[in-house]
Chain A
Amino acid sequence: EVQLVESGGGLVKPGGSLRLSCAVSGFSFSTYGMNWVRQAPGKGLEWVSSISGSGIYIYYADSLKGRFIISRDNAKNSLYLQMNSLRAEDTAVYYCARDTVRVLDYWGQGSLVTVSS
């Protein structure tokens, strides 16, 4: 059974940093691209970043470049999102999702990040 479990969310002050993790099981992690997608309260889905199975190809939403860093550890079956210089508008539920040729076919349950003083 495919499972994706996010962790690392919480309350952080503006300007602070946070690192999200996504632990996966049930499939060959290194052969799939992975994505982070976020959803602000009451809003639609917003794609954040994607990384190829090897970690070589990485893409970011233009609005986030320079502040967020996606990475993965295939030996640990884990995906990460390092978030720096956080702002109030980064408050959202962050989902990790498996990528099968640009189809996000499995999603985690989400991790809430709240940026507030």
Chain B
Amino acid sequence: QSVLTQPPSVSAAPGQKVTISCSGNSSNIGNNFVSWYQQLPGTAPKLLIYDNNKRASGIPDRFSGSKSGTSATLGITGLQTGDEADYHCGTWDSSLSAVVFGGGTKLIVL
């Protein structure tokens, strides 16, 4: 059972937009920055978004992040088949003194 809650999967057609939610509480998302990681099949996670909404180096502006209260959202526009991956949200939990992640969301580009 992950501390942060993500939907198991989302899907959309190429060229469309999709959002992935990440829900937590005041000990984690509510008072700390959120990061998003992309994990292509069979590879290691890669930093996508940090500090809620900053894109990591080399990440196209099709990817965006936002945070409101105790929830965060990853948005991807102009979907491409190469975007099919697992997406993980993560943050620090001040009560647990631990890095916490969501369970991951599989993006399916139909």
Residue numbers of A with Cβ under 8 A of B are 35, 37, 43-47, 50, 59, 61-62, 95, 97, 102-110
Contacts and interface: CB of A to CB of B under 8 A. Distances in A.
Interface residues of B, number: 27
Contacts of A44: 2, 86, 88, 101-104
5 contacts: A43-B104, A45-B101, A59-B98, A95-B45, A102-B33
A107 B44 CA distance: 7
Contacts of B88: 44-45
Given A59-B97, A107-B46, 15 more contacts: A44-B2, A44-B86, A44-B104, A45-B37, A45-B90, A47-B100, A50-B99, A97-B45, A102-B32, A102-B35, A102-B92, A103-B33, A103-B47, A107-B45, A109-B44
Interface secondary structure of B, over-half rule: strand
Contacts of B50: 103, 105
B56 interface: yes
Given A102-B32, A107-B44, A62 B98 contact: yes
Contacts of A110: 44
